[in-house]
Copies of this chain bind each other. A is one copy, B any other.
Amino acid sequence: MATKSKPFNVERFFQALGDNTRLRLLNLMGEQEICVCYFVEILDQAQPKISRHLAYLRRAGIVAARREGKWMYYRIVMPPNLGASQVLQQTLAWLKEERTMQADRSRLTKACCTPAKFTALQGAPLPVSLPNEAR
């Protein structure tokens, strides 16, 4: 049986982008895979809240998750639909220009360089850049 790919849901795609927390998550992922604990730390939001928004993005087909031991890594996956992937790329580029998004990214960089300073991140796995073929 051929892989049944249901037609891309455009509504769901844009609805997924219509929430600031989710935009911040996407912005943090950018081109790297990130562990949930970093999202919680950087956005300073309750863990179930982060988890629910990540699940929403997953259902919309915008991110994918990978488990590694206790940790879950999330990454952006480009939608199979060409138009959608172009809009998503453009959106990510746009977010990079926004002040608040830049601030998030900068906090992430800081946390990754000195995770020991964030009590919640002791021993947490560092983000891993994705190989080119995965983008």
* Residues in chain A within 8 A of chain B (CB atoms): 10-15, 17-20, 23, 82-84, 86-87, 90-91, 93-95, 97-98
Most B-side CB within 10 Å, residue of A10, A12, A95, A98: A10
Closest residue of B by beta carbon distance from A97: B83
- What's the Cα separation between A97 and B85 when bound, in Å? 14
Determine the main DSSP class of A at the interface with B.
Answer: helix
With both chains docked as a complex, state the minimum distance between the C-beta of A100 and any C-beta of chain B, in angstroms: 10
* Interfacial chain B residues near A15, Cβ < 8 Å: 14-15, 18
- What's the Cα separation between A84 and B15 when bound, in Å? 15
* Cβ contact of A87, chosen from B10, B12, B91, cutoff 8 A: B91
- What's the Cα separation between A17 and B90 when bound, in Å? 15
* Interfacial chain B residues near A10, Cβ < 8 Å: 20, 23, 98
Question: Are A19 and B23 closer than 8 Å at their CB atoms?
Answer: no
- Which 3 pairs between the two chains have the least Cβ-Cβ distance? A83-B94, A15-B18, A14-B18
Known: A11-B23, A14-B17, A84-B94. 16 other contacts (CB 8 A): A10-B20, A11-B20, A13-B18, A14-B14, A14-B15, A14-B18, A14-B23, A15-B18, A18-B18, A83-B90, A83-B91, A83-B95, A86-B90, A86-B94, A87-B91, A87-B94
